[in-house]
Amino acid sequence: MNIDAIENGYVIDHITTGNAMKIYEVLELNKLDCQVALITNAKSKKQGVKDLIKIAKLIDIDFDKLAFLDPDVTVNIVKNSKIVEKRNLALPEKLVNVTRCKNPRCITSTERDLDQIFNLTNKEKQLYRCAYCEMSLEK
């Protein structure tokens, strides 16, 4: 299989196998007007197998969303066919409007204009809690 190199854009690498489609959907990559390559089950020395996504355009990416979905990804920023920056992501301390609180009694269920805010409470367990009702966030 041959996937061309990109001139300008991103390579989201080291995605946990099976997560690429979820990342594609959450980042709404289907709405882009450029080439997007989604590769699953690629061989990896580091992970055995991995997924990766190539985006052939420099766009605004919500790195907090990406880190929440898969904190072990690496993002390579490509300009003029060269990697100019490599970002290793970490779980964000706070998530804002990335997901919704599932508690029907949470104020965010009735007050639609409130931001959905979750705070990281346990980094090892990747546990977030709603800033309003303290309900745990299920990924």
The model's pLDDT over 33-88, given as tens digits with 9 standing for 90+, comes to: 999 999 999 998 888 999 999 999 999 999 999 999 999 899 999 999 999 999 99
Q: Enter the DSSP assignment of 110.
A: H
Domains delineated in the chain = 9-88 (3.30.70.140), 94-130 (no CATH)
The Cα 81–Cα 9 span in angstroms is 9
Question: Cβ distance 30 to 81 under 8 Å?
Answer: no
Give the least confident one: 3-7, 50-54, 69-73, 105-109: 3-7
Over residues 100-109, the mean pLDDT reads 93
